[in-house]
Every structure is written in C-alpha cells, then in structure tokens.
A = this chain, B = another copy of it.
C-alpha cells in the first residue's frame, strides 16, 4: 500500500450526523453531511482515512432513540458504524501509516481514534473489506448464533430467514458445511438462485411470491425444523413456528420486518407451541462473544480457504451515498454484504 501511505491529513473532513429521529422508514434527510476540522492526535491515537463503510440493519435501532443494548445516537451526533480505514498518522506504537485496520469509527471520511480499538488487517490474506463481512461482525454473528445457540447436528434441518444477507448467507453455508439440510427465505428471485446454485442451500423461497408460509415450510422441510436462524421475524416466523421439532433451537438474531414500524405490530400468541416442541428461543448479540472472536475468525477463514463459504457484496460508491446505501439495505436491495466504498 505504498501509494496510499502518502495520504496527508486534510484540515477538514466530512461526516454524517443524525439530523432527525426517523418515524417509520428512515429518509436521507434524517442524516446531515457536515464538515469539521480534524483534531491533532493525542498520544495513543491514530488518524484513519475511511476506505470502506459498513451499513447494517442494527443501525436502525441506534437511531430510534430507544434504549437498547447500546446507547442511541444523539441528534447531531456522528453516526456510528464499522469501517475499514488506512492509517494516515499514528501516535500509537502498534500501527504505522499505510496500515489498514477495521474499526468502529462511524460514518466519517477521516476519523481520529484510539489505536488500541483498531484491528490491524493483513491485506494479503483476504480483500480488506471482508473484515466488515464474512471475516468480521456479520460472519461472527452467523458463526456464534448458529454454533452456540442453534448447535445443529449433521442431518438436521436448518432454516434461515434473511438468507441472502451478510449474516444469513454465511449461516446457511456453515450449516451445509456441518452436514445439515438448509432452507433459506429471501425476497428476490436472483437471491434465491444464488442461494441454491452457488451457496449450496437445499431449497429457498421468495417470501414475496408465497402467501402461505406454513405450507411452504411444510413442503420444503418434510422432517420439520430443528434449527431456525431468524433475521426477519413477523409472518415468516409465524409460519415456521408450528414446524419446530421437539427440542428445536431458535436464534433470534434480527427482526428486520419490525424495525420500521411506527407502532408495535400484533401477531398470533404462539408461545404455547414451545411447550409442544420444548423448543428454545434465544436472542443473540455478537458482542457477547468478544472473548471468542479469534475462534470464530479461525473457523470462518478455514471454511473460506476450503471453498465452503462463498461471499458476495453489494457496493455503493462514494462516501456521500452512505445514507442511501443504508436505506437500500433496509429495503433488501443487497445480496450479501452491503458496503460503501468511500
């Protein structure tokens, strides 16, 4: 990366701040592009130039203003998010200009941050933006949610909703690598084709073209469902619920069908079915597994090397299009990881 090592620190840099709390589906105007001077580095800090930005479904929760597992972004505050950046200046011993890192540096063109909070990447091992996808938070979410909560055994049936997304596509492929029957749910025909033809899913269906989800799951999962990795929630989950086998395991990773509701949606009360199935339903958050990230990355890298995991990315060009990319993600426009190339 010798060419980029010559980047010099600009006096001002752009960033997106939260302009308004979205009501319902977010709009571009909920974010505002600002330009601000870059502070001088303090000891231990680094200056990053953002190369890639990650947009993810969890960000919808961060801008809602509701207390959740993490503090909300305040109005006027810089939008949070993962990124891959190049070190431009460093007062941190472990990093040099030209190094490429993954960091939770937010929607900023340039970011000043503690060097110890950045993870140095080896660009010779994999394209650096995979640190935001299969070899980053989404891959680790897939790994720990599936391995730790669903704990599938060879021969079992695993269903994944949001199956063509950054997390879902990895979940399904890990489950295939473990010898499971894998059924995916996604929202576009070309996603279904990708899942079945390239990712090795045994079956998948386009939920926008199916009205009776329960009947579709019955058709595609004749032996019932042992594991359900849910990114979506709502009527898809309702349809799957009666198919849960005895002692089935459900990982609630996301509920994207609900994120833009202006009021709580009503659905059938079906907790009683858990008594019939004695199923376990567990919410998961990847940060709980931080002490085991090395284990997860090693396993994911191994499956990548063996060709057992395919990955795709949907790239939006230009830092200033970050809010647009985020809205496209919420609409399901991506196959695989949604990224912004800054």
Residues of A within 8 A of B (CB): 68-69, 230, 233-234, 237, 246, 252-255, 258, 264-285, 288
Determine if A69 and B276 form an interchain contact, defined as CB atoms under 8 angstroms apart.
yes
Q: With A276-B69, A278-B284 as given contacts, are A252 and B268 in contact (CB-CB < 8 Å)?
A: no
Residues of B within 8 A of A234 (CB): 269
Instruction: From the candidates B69, B265, B276, name the one contacting A268 in the complex (CB within 8 A).
Output: B265
By the criterion CB–CB under 8 Å, are A274 and B265 in contact?
no
CB pair A280 B278 closer than 8 Å: no
Across the interface, do A271 and B68 meet the contact criterion of CB distance under 8 Å? no
Are A279's CB and B277's CB within 8 A?
A: no
Nearest-CB residue, chain B, relative to A69: B276
Nearest to A246 among chain B residues (CB) is B69
11 further A-B pairs in the complex, CB-CB below 8 A; given A68-B276, A230-B271, A280-B281: A69-B278, A252-B271, A252-B272, A255-B269, A255-B271, A274-B281, A278-B283, A278-B284, A279-B282, A280-B280, A280-B283
What would be 18 A-B contacts, judged by CB atoms less than 8 Å apart? A69-B278, A233-B272, A252-B274, A252-B275, A253-B275, A255-B269, A255-B271, A264-B268, A264-B269, A265-B268, A265-B269, A266-B268, A267-B269, A274-B281, A278-B284, A278-B288, A280-B280, A280-B281
A266 and chain B: residue at smallest CB distance: B266
